Amino acid sequence: MSQASHFDSKYTRTLDSLRRSICLAAPGAGMTLHETALTAEFGMSRTPIRQVLQRLAYERLVETKSGVGTVVTALKAENRERDRLVHAGMLRTAAELDIAELTIAQHSEVLALDGMMALATETDRALQFDVFSKIHGLLSELVPDLILQAAVSASFWRNVRWHMADQAENAGVALTALKRMTTLLTSYEARNGKDLILRLADGQGDR
C-alpha cells in the first residue's frame, strides 16, 4: 500500500468511526472531541485529525466553541425540515447526472438491506446505523461529481442524526420509517442507479 493510500485509508476509517460515535451518542449528550485524545486513539498526527474534524464540521456534525473546543453540534428542531428538504434536493440533483448502472456487487449490496432490516429491532441502534452506512457507501460510489458527492454526503449524515434522535424518542416509529425507506430502495429497477437515487429522495418524505 502506498503512503498516500495508507493515509486515505486511515483518514476514512477515522472519519467513519467518529461519524458512528456522533450518530449513536444519546441526544444532548454534549460530546466533546479533543485533538490530543483523537491522535492517540487513531494513531494519527494532529494535521490529519484536524482534516477529519474539518470534514465533520462541513457536515455540521461538529462545531468549534471558543474556550471549549470541538463539540458535537446540537440538533435544532427548527432545522429539521430544512435538512430533509436539502437532502432530498441534493439527491434529485445528483440523479440528473450520468449515473452508471450498478455493478452486480452493488446490486447485491442493495438487496442485502432486506436481510439487515429483517434482523433490526427497535432498540438496535447500531444495526440501524449500519443500514444507513451501507446506503451511504453506495451513494458515494454512484454520484460521479466529487463536489456534489461531498454535499450529498453532508446532508445524508445530518438526516441520519435526525433518525437516531427519533429512535431515542420513539423507537417503533423510527424503525417503521427506516423499513419503509429500505423497502422502497430494494424494489428499485434492477441496477438502475438513477432510479435508486430518486427512490432515496422520495423516501425522505417518510423521515
Are residues 135 and 65 part of one domain? no
Are residues 166 and 123 part of one domain? yes
Alpha-carbon distance values, 46 to 36, 37, 40, 72, 85 (Å): 8, 10, 10, 19, 35
The sheet carrying 32-33 orders its strands as 32-33, 69-72, 62-65
Q: Measured between alpha carbons, how far is 32 from 18 in angstroms, rounded to an integer? A: 11
Q: Measured between alpha carbons, how far is 158 from 142 in angstroms, rounded to an integer? A: 20
In this prediction, residue 151 carries a pLDDT of 96
For the record, the C-alpha cell of 145 comes out as 461529481
Are residues 15 and 117 part of one domain? no
Are residues 132 and 38 part of one domain? no
pTM for this one? 0.92
CATH code of the domain in which 55 resides = 1.10.10.10
SS3 72: strand
Q: Measured between alpha carbons, how far is 192 from 45 in angstroms, rounded to an integer? A: 41
In this prediction, residue 6 carries a pLDDT of 45
Please report, as a single letter, which amino acid is at residue 157: W
In this prediction, residue 128 carries a pLDDT of 98
Q: How far is CA 88 from the centre of its chain?
A: 14
| Mean per-residue pLDDT pooled into runs of 10, the chain (207 residues) | 56 96 87 94 95 96 90 95 97 97 97 97 97 97 96 97 95 97 96 97 76
Are residues 183 and 163 part of one domain? yes
Alpha-carbon distance values, 140 to 19, 28, 38, 133 (Å): 15, 29, 25, 10
Residue where one domain finishes, among candidates 20, 42, 72: 72
Are residues 83 and 7 part of one domain? no
Are residues 184 and 93 part of one domain? yes
Are residues 100 and 164 part of one domain? yes
Are residues 95 and 9 part of one domain? no
Are residues 101 and 39 part of one domain? no
Residue where one domain finishes, among candidates 56, 72, 88: 72
Q: Are 131 and 117 in contact (CB under 8 A)?
A: yes
In this prediction, residue 180 carries a pLDDT of 96
Are residues 125 and 40 part of one domain? no
In this prediction, residue 26 carries a pLDDT of 85
Q: Measured between alpha carbons, how far is 160 from 24 in angstroms, rounded to an integer? A: 10
Are residues 128 and 28 part of one domain? no
H helices of the chain, in order, are 3-24, 35-42, 46-58, 80-95, 104-119, 125-142, 146-169, 171-186, 193-203
Q: Which domain holds residue 200?
A: 77-206
How many domains is the chain partitioned into structurally? 2
Residue where one domain finishes, among candidates 15, 46, 72: 72
